[in-house]
Amino acid sequence: MNDIIQLNESEFASQVLQAPGPVLVDFYAPWCGPCKMLSPLLEQLAAEFRARVKFVKVNVDDAPGLAMRHQITGVPTVMLFRGGLVLDTFVGLPNPRTLKRRLEELAPAPAAATA
């Protein structure tokens, strides 16, 4: 099951800017080698954070207005949003541990029940 939603320009505001919780946006291009290398990591994180963080992808070739509005100068660019605000930006391939740690800070796991 794919936990990452592909968005176009018309869906961005409702799916990202108006989302109630944290959203990770992967701005990518289909011809971009590093973007392809990032995909497996994002799929793994999307499965791990399924109930806590929304994961979306935006093809910058199909959404040049979004790329311009968010000042995307290189791909991949990963942006973390909450409440319509950009909380963090990673340009290029992010360090997997750093990205996971940042997601944990934005959307901590519910405390486990103790026996």
**What fold characterizes domain 4-106?**
Glutaredoxin (3.40.30)
The predicted pLDDT at position 112 comes to 57
| Spans of the chain, pLDDT less than 50 | 1, 113, 115
Q: Residue 19: which of 107, 109, 113, 110 has the closest Cα? A: 107
52 is an active site residue: no
For the chain, give every domain's residue range: 4-106
Residue from 4, 5, 19, 32 carrying the catalytic annotation: 32
Residue 32 falls in the annotated catalytic set = yes
Which residue in 16, 24, 35, 66 is the catalytic one? 35
What pTM does this model have? 0.91
| CB count in 10 Å sphere of residue 79 | 20
Query: CA distances (Å), 71 to each of 45, 58, 90, in order?
Result: 25, 13, 12
Strand order across the 4-7 sheet: 4-7, 54-59, 23-28, 77-82, 85-91
